[in-house]
Amino acid sequence: MSGLFDKTTDALGSSINFRLLKQNVASSNIANAETPGYKAKKVDFEQALSRALDINGLGQMSTDHPDHFYANGNSMMNVGADVYENPDITVTNDGNTVDLEREMAELSENTILYRATLQLINKKLAGLAYAATEGSGAR
């Protein structure tokens, strides 16, 4: 993103995209709950997001010369989620691995977190809008 947004805003944007992916995967699992042989999918993005945020600063790179490239500038743009067959589920007689109750619970939790992330983004943008209008004298 541009210099207008900070690392938090970039992380919230990536989180929204991952929540959408997780919603689609959970919906697909629920839709295929009665399909014989269907293997439930799982999305893992929390680790990828924490690596991109580099919360502990372990992967911090610095530049000591003006001609060097800044290494961590687009770290949020390169974050990807892993979608794979869920190994934590038991197989039923027809070969299906969807646990409908678990999928519904994950879908509900994901919806709550999606809405919370949207609210945080709205608050950040409202702060920018406030700063822009107060700076220009417009109301």
What pTM does this model have? 0.69
Euclidean distance between the first and final Cα of the chain, in Å?
28
Q: Where are the domains of the chain?
A: 7-136
For the chain, give the mean pLDDT. 78
Q: What confidence score (pLDDT) does residue 26 get?
A: 94
SS3 category, 42: strand
- Is residue 89 within 8 A of residue 98, CB to CB? The reply is yes
Contacts of 73 (CB under 8 A, 6+ apart): none
Amino acid at 122: N
Q: Using CA atoms, how far apart are residues 130 and 84, in angstroms rounded to an integer?
A: 43
| Per-residue model confidence as pLDDT tens digits over 9-31 | 888 888 898 899 999 999 999 99
- What is the b/e burial string over 43-72, where b = at least 16 CB atoms within 10 angstroms of the residue's CB? bebeebbeebbeeeeeeeeeeeeeeeeeee
pLDDT, average across residues 63-92: 64
Q: How does residue 1 score in pLDDT terms, banded at 50, 70 and 90?
A: very low
- Is residue 29 within 8 A of residue 40, CB to CB? The reply is yes
% of the chain surpassing 70 pLDDT: 70
* pLDDT over 50 (residue 73): no
* pLDDT over 70 (residue 134): yes
Q: What confidence score (pLDDT) does residue 54 get?
A: 62
* pLDDT over 90 (residue 4): no
